Structures are given as C-alpha cells and as structure tokens.
Amino acid sequence: MKPAPFTYHDPTSADEVVALLGRHEDAKLLAGGQSLMPMLNMRFVVPDHVIDLNGVAGLAGVRDAGDALELGAMTRQRDLMADAAIAAKAPIVPEALDWVGHFQTRNRGTIGGSLCHLDPAAELPCLMAAYDAVLKVQGPDGVREVPFAEWPLAYMMPSLGPDEVLTGIRVPHWPDSHGHGFVEFARRHGDFAIVSVAALLTVEGGKIARAAIAIGGADVRPIRLEAAEAALVGAAPSPDAFRAAGETARGIEAMSDAYVTSAYRQRLAATLVERALIRAAERANGGA
C-alpha cells in the first residue's frame, strides 16, 4: 500500500501555490495529510503532482478581528483546541475537536484540510455551517469569499476551482452570553460521525433570541435546521421546545450507506438535536 509516484512541490507562498496549480493539471494540495495520505497510500487518489502547503508562510494562526475569528487554513486542529481566543469566543470549537480523530492526527490535521476534504461525517464543516463561516479562497484572479452555505457543491466537493487554494476562514462572533452544545454519535471514540449536531443559542429575557442548529454526517453536506431555528426564536428554552426542534430533524434529507440507513440517521438526528439544544441552553447566560 504505497502511493503511486508523483512529483512533489513545496512552495513557500500562496501565490506560488496558485501558480503551481495553474501549471499542473492533475495536482493535489497536501495540508495536514490526515485524509489525503490514506487515500494516496491506498491509491484511491493518484495525482501526478502533490503540492505541500506546510511550508507556505502566513497560512496558519488564529486572530480575533473584533467581530469574528480569523483562522488560517493551515492552522492545526491541535492549535485550535489550545487557543485562548477560540476558547473565549467559540468554545464549541474545542468541544467539537475532541471528536476529531485522535490527538496524534490532530497534531497534523488542519482546519482547511478538513473543510476542503469535506467528508460528510467531518465535524469542522458542521461547525462552520452553524457559524455561517466565510471561506477565503485565493486564485489566479485574487481572493474571493465564499459563504459556507455555498461551499459544499456535492459529495466531498467544495466550491474550489482547480487553481484555487483555501487560505482562511472567518468565523463570526456570537455574543459572549451564547450557549453551545456539540453532540455526536459515532461507534467509537474518534470515528466518523454517524450524525453530529452543533447548536448555538442566545437567550435574552428568558426567551431564545437566536439559534443555529447544524447537522453533520446525515447528508452529503451539513444541514442547517432553519425551520426549527426560526421556531425556537422567541420561545422559552424548555424541554418541550427542544424536543419539538429535534422532531423536525426526522424530516431531514439523510443518506444510507453500507452500515446505516437514512431512517436511522433521521432518528439519531432527532435525539441529538434535542440533546445539543439542552446543552446549549444550559450554558447560555440570560436564561432563567
């Protein structure tokens, strides 16, 4: 199980990456390698060129831009988990990352790699869906911004042109009083999620003021439960409200695979949406 031969490139700037992508037709970008390397080893992916992003300057890091967190695409998952600004502003991120692989893979794996690989079961795309994150993509004509809702085009296929590279992600702030809950069901620790749910809530004066619910793993892309979000706004955070929100998840589009059916994913989604909302409400200030 050895990769097929390729030509290796180790550019040092994003411009150079874009230029290399322009020159080479069948090229793959290598970020943390925790998804691409297995596919190379198994020869599922057989590119002529591998362009390593690990030496590219300026792609890693976390910055609080006031109204949002700016994450470099090559920021390692381990560093996201340990970052103080993320812990303060978006504590759901480290909570979700605990479900991402294992500490050894998080030492290499990057947020950008995960968002570009776009495995339906991956946790980070689910989080970015909840946040309506904005992705910064650099191509030959400069940088464009893609709202997360427009990022997944199809199964494991991001809105990324053959000569484009993801450079950063902008995660808008929620008020400090917000509550969060990330719950997931996987067979074993670190496994692909069968279903995961990210929930964010703000509560003002005993009523839910804002809600975001994203479901990962169920379909080929993360799903936002917009109807349930709308129904929650203005309601008191209550077990009944959360159960009702969960019930709406029974109607989501869900896929079947060799292991579980879409019906089971829908059932799980209902359970997990309810649990994520309960957890988020417990953590939201301004309830009572």
Minimum distance from residue 263 beta carbon to other proteins (Å): 9
Structure tokens at 104: 């050894």
- Tell me the closest approach of the beta carbon of residue 209 to other proteins, in angstroms: 28
Binding of residue 189 to other proteins (CB under 8 A): yes
| 15 near other proteins, judged by CB under 8 A | no
149-178 residues near other proteins, rule: CB under 8 A:
153-157, 159-162
Tokens of 102: 């294992």
When the beta carbons of 19 and 220 are compared against other proteins, the nearer one is 220
> Angle 13-17-18 (CA atoms, 0-180°, nearest 5)?
120
Q: Does 65 bind other proteins (CB under 8 A)?
A: no
CA distance 204 to 187: 37
- Contact track, other proteins, 18-47, x by CB under 8 A: --------x-x-x--xxxxxxxxxxxxxxx
107 in contact with other proteins (CB under 8 A): yes
Q: What share of the chain is helix, strand, coil (3-state, %, to 5)?
A: 35, 25, 40
Q: What is the DSSP letter of 54?
A: T
Q: Under the criterion CB under 8 A, does residue 253 sit at the interface with other proteins?
A: yes
Under rule CB under 8 A, residue 182 binds other proteins: no
- Amino acid identity of residue 163, one-letter, is D
> Residue 188 Cβ, how far from other proteins at the closest point, in Å?
5
Residue 52 interacts with other proteins (CB under 8 A)? yes
d(CA 153, CA 141): 21
Q: How many residues does the chain have?
A: 288
Provide the edge-to-edge strand list for the sheet that holds 223-224. Answer: 179-185, 195-204, 207-216, 223-224
Site stretch for other proteins (CB under 8 A), options 65-73, 203-211, 227-235, 263-271? 263-271
Q: Per the structure block, which two tokens stand in for 178?
A: 């917000």
Contact by Cβ (8 Å): 71, 48: no
Using CB under 8 A as the binding rule, the residues of this chain from 116 to 145 that contact other proteins are 117-118, 121
Q: Does 188 bind other proteins (CB under 8 A)?
A: yes
Contact 93, 106 (CB under 8 A): no
Closest approach of Cβ 251 to other proteins, in Å?
A: 11
**Contact flag: residue 104 with other proteins (CB under 8 A):** yes
Q: Phi and psi dihedrals of 125, rounded to 5?
A: -60, -35
Choose one: 66-74, 123-131, 183-191, 198-206; the region binding other proteins (CB under 8 A).
183-191
